[in-house]
Amino acid sequence: MKKVILSLVFVLATGMSFMNANVINGKEKDLQVQDCHDVYNRTRDFVYGMTGSLHIGITAAIAAEEACLNEEEELTMFID
Amino acid sequence: MLCFSYNISAQKIKAGKIIYQYDVHEIVLDENDKNQNQNMVNQFTKSLKENRDKIKYELVFNEYESNYKIVKSIILENNKILNYAILITGGGEEVYSNLKEDVVLKEIEMFGEKFIIKSNSNKDWILTQETKIIGGYKCYKAILKQPQIQNNVKMPHVEAWYSPAIPISFGPKGYSNLPGLILQLKIGPIVYLATKIAINLKEKINVHKPNKGKVLSEKEFDKMMRGIDKRKS
């Protein structure tokens, strides 16, 4: 089973990832699509809670999830 | 430094332009959220702080109408951290207010489509006697009454500092209906501060009213957003 050190990402609206913004420190974990869903949910709730705008929260979360999924592809390629 | 171009006391204001900039305060997390979200908070704060001098917002108004939007000409670069700060501070929105008709129109572009979100202006303010001086003007604090929790998320505290010495009822982001210009608006950790005020006591100016896009009520837009959210999560 492929293992990676997973760093969940908090990403910028346009898709740039801030690596290690949300870190599961030092724990090895299988990288799964569900992790990016978690990034989506956490980003949405955090940004919504900071701005009071659901629209801004969801926009940031969509970008975060997309960047997370891209990150996952890169990690998979790297492991291969 | 706050810059005023006129002494406006006891004169009727016909039009004007206000520039707002933002700052971000320290975010204090609940104990339960600390471990999970501290890094997210650090990045959020850092990206906003790094770009606070690059982003400006402009409020243009006449006697009854105002338009608030980002000053586009100052965006000279296209970096992603900057775009994030613009998104978070509301740069993707243009807000029109009409006090006479009690209407607020917020123009938003999503997925390549324009929407105009129609609502009423804020009226649920709690006026307090707390004061502070901003740019030489005595300002009073008002707190927005709103639900504490929405969609299972704790909403940010909203407070406005307005000056009765500048008797216009507009402010940033469509917040209005206070007995004076809002010189400072705090939404959660983000503070919007008037940094330049140009008041015109004679001329009447035209204020842009968004007219392109699908018109939705706040409720309809919220329902649409929750539909998108449901599909994503």
Domain map of chain B by residue range? 3-121+189-232
Per-residue confidence band for B233, with pLDDT thresholds at 50, 70 and 90: low
Tens digit of each residue's pLDDT (9 = 90 or more) over B48-104: 999 999 999 999 999 999 999 999 865 556 677 888 899 999 999 999 999 999 999
Distance from C-alpha of B118 to C-alpha of B108, rounded to nearest angstrom: 11
Within its chain, how far is the Cα of B41 from the centroid? 21
ipTM score: 0.89
- Under a CB-based contact definition with an 8 Å cutoff, are residues B105 and B217 in contact? no
Residue B26: pLDDT band (50, 70, 90) is: confident
The pLDDT of residue B129 is: 98
Q: What is the pLDDT of residues A25-42, one digit of tens each?
A: 444 455 567 788 888 998
Please give the pLDDT value at position B8.
54
Out of A12, A42, A44, whose CB is closest to B229? A44
Amino acid type, A66? E
| Yes or no, beta carbons of B47 and A12 under 8 Å apart | yes
Choose among A49, A45, A60: nearest CA to A11.
Answer: A60
- Give B8→chain A minimum CA distance, Å: 33
Residue B232 to residue A58, Cβ atoms within 8 A: yes
B80 close to A (CB below 8 A) = yes
A50 or B3, which is more confident: A50
Provide the pLDDT confidence category of residue B203 given band limits of 50, 70 and 90. confident
- Give the bridge partners for B35, in sequence order: none
**Residue in A10, A18, A50 nearest the CB of B188:** A50
Domain spans in chain A, listed from the N-terminal domain onward:
4-79
Residues of A in contact with B81 (CB under 8 A): 12, 16
Contact B225 A58 (CB under 8 A): yes
The CA distance from A66 to the nearest CA of chain B, in Å, is 11
pTM tops 0.80: yes
